[in-house]
């Protein structure tokens, strides 16, 4: 079996990606980055998801983005209610570049040529590092930057949810047996992982269940 590194945040999207990687026959090494997010309940969720969906291992790497701040998720800035124009304050500066870089390093150590992430460019918050051009550019970088890229099989960055709606993601997850009740998407979740129901992440997630015609198993506060 081929090894793959899958970035797992604890949210619904990356849970579905993990299940998709398993369904494609990969031996999955789940990676979560503790970047100083407002709560750790999403990391608890990531550990749960990795176990439930059969990851071979789950690693949490600490990269303290709170020390640079600049986001409602990593600084003393309130998380807004859903809506509003432009790139929202929940954008974490360079987060996906940093997380994919950690995944790239671990992939090289494991001899994995495949990295999976859950970025989505349809029902999303407008973050620049969720766009298809970004994923393509990061893959080019990965192949320039590593021994695996220069001498080995090369690195492929998979973003299988890129062009799916939230409803599509829900349907895919249901088909693959993902227990969405184990996942936490809310930016303001409490210590137990209960969702606020009002933030952008909650709104996108709730709409996805409605549009898919699937009962919403989210634990709300």
Per CB under 5 A, 199 contacts Zn ion: yes
What spatial distance separates the first Cα and last Cα of the chain, rounded to whole Å?
41
**Contact track, Zn ion, 133-172, x by CB under 5 A:** ----------------------------------------
Helix (H, G, I), strand (E, B) or coil at 58: strand
31 DSSP β-pair partners: 7, 59
Closer to Zn ion by Cβ: residue 59 or 198: 198
Per CB under 5 A, 73 contacts Zn ion: no
Helix or strand holding residue 31 (H, E): strand 27-34
Cα separations in angstroms, 94 against 127, 154, 186: 10, 24, 20
Per CB under 5 A, 186 contacts Zn ion: yes
Smallest separation (angstroms) from Zn ion to the CB of 221 = 9
Closer to Zn ion by Cβ: residue 131 or 194: 194
Token couple for 132: 């298809």
Q: What is the 3-state secondary structure (H, E, C) of 88-133?
A: CCCCCCCHHHHHHHHHHHHHHHHCCCEEECCCCCCCCCCCHHHCHH
Give the residue, chosen from 196, 207, 210, 219, that forms a contact with Zn ion under the rule CB under 5 A: 196
Give the residue, chosen from 5, 7, 161, 202, that forms a contact with Zn ion under the rule CB under 5 A: 202
Applying CB under 5 A, what is the total number of residues that bind Zn ion? Answer: 6
**126: number of Cβ within 10 Å:** 14
Smallest separation (angstroms) from Zn ion to the CB of 120 = 17
Closer to Zn ion by Cβ: residue 31 or 206: 206
Binding site for Zn ion (CB under 5 A): 186, 188, 195-196, 199, 202
């Amino acid at each position: 079996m081929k090894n793959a590194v899958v970035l797992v945040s604890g949210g619904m999207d990356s849970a579905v990606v993990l299940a998709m990687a398993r369904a494609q026959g990969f031996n999955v090494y789940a990676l979560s980055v503790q970047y100083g997010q407002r709560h750790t309940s999403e990391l608890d969720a990531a550990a749960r998801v990795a176990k439930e969906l059969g990851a071979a291992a789950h690693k949490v790497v600490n990269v303290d983005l709170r020390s640079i701040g600049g986001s409602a998720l990593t600084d003393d800035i309130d998380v807004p209610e859903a809506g509003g124009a432009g790139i929202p304050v929940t954008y974490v500066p360079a987060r996906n570049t940093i997380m994919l870089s950690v995944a790239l390093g671990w992939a090289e150590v494991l001899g994995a040529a495949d990295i999976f992430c859950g970025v989505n460019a349809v029902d999303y918050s407008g973050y620049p590092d969720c766009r298809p051009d970004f994923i393509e550019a990061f893959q080019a970088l990965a192949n320039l930057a590593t021994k695996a890229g220069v001498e080995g099989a090369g690195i492929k960055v998979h973003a299988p949810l890129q062009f799916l709606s939230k409803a599509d993601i829900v349907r895919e997850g249901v088909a693959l047996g993902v227990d969405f009740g184990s996942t936490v998407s809310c930016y303001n979740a409490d210590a137990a992982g209960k969702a606020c129901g009002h933030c952008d992440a909650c709104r996108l997630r709730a709409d996805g269940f409605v549009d898919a015609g699937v009962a919403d198993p989210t634990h709300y506060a």
